[in-house]
Amino acid sequence: MILRKRTVWIALTGFLVVIAIGIGISVAFFSTPTEYCLLLFGPEAESRVWVEVHGRAVFLHRNKLGASAESVSYVDRQFAQIRNVEIFGTDGETRYVITGLSVEPAGNQSRRHLMIDVDVKGPAEFQQYCDVELRADPTDSAVAHFGGPLTAGPRTINWKLSDGLKLVTGDKPTDLFMNIGTMDADRGCWVVVRTHQGDKPVFPDNVHPMVEVEFPSKSSGGEPVVRQYPIDKFC
């Protein structure tokens, strides 16, 4: 007597049930959580897109959840089909083009996040990217603000300065790493300007930030010494 195995797949909303019928029976349930983040665009965050990640699909909602503008399934754990999605600024001149979007477990399932690449097109053109956390509660969503107010400052980790960062006097130089972007620790916003592609800068040689350092005077009561240094290298 030959026993044949039969596999029946039944798809339910948010679950996948696998029933193997034959010598034995096994049933497995896989829950798929829904996660969110919010993308803002423009100096005053005039335009917004909600990102909803559910299982093997990502949904982009213009302005508010529940009004889905696009639904794109991804392949091989990458949102490979989300390319050249355009968001138009309210000034009528600026466009924000999402050129890449991928989910990154990064070995830490408690902090799933998206890496997003955006090209800013218009009177001032540049590229930005972000690391934005995915959260289960849309009312507590992390935010990524593209085309927002830009500031230059020392590189931070989780919006905090490195404990080892300090400027010291003497002959040994101090390495100062900087980012240019829009940061907001309270809202989980970390969006920076892309300064290079591979080993090539994306800006002309004479376009770079400067850092101004004020040194105390060597003599008591003397004027402080102010020096400017170009931040013209990238890593």
Most confident of 18-32, 97-111, 146-160: 146-160
Residues sharing a CB contact under 8 Å with residue 68, sequence separation 6 or more, in sequence order:
59, 60, 61
Backbone angles phi, psi at 110, to 5 degrees: -80, -10
167 has a pLDDT exceeding 90: no
In the chain, what percentage of residues exceed pLDDT 90? Answer: 31
Mode of pairing for the β-strands spanning 160-161 and 15-21 = unpaired
Averaged pLDDT of the chain = 76
pLDDT of residue 41: 96
**Average pLDDT of span 175-196:** 88
**What confidence tier does 111 reach under pLDDT thresholds 50, 70, 90?**
confident
Written as six digits, the tokens of 17 are 């049930």
Average pLDDT over residues 99-126: 82
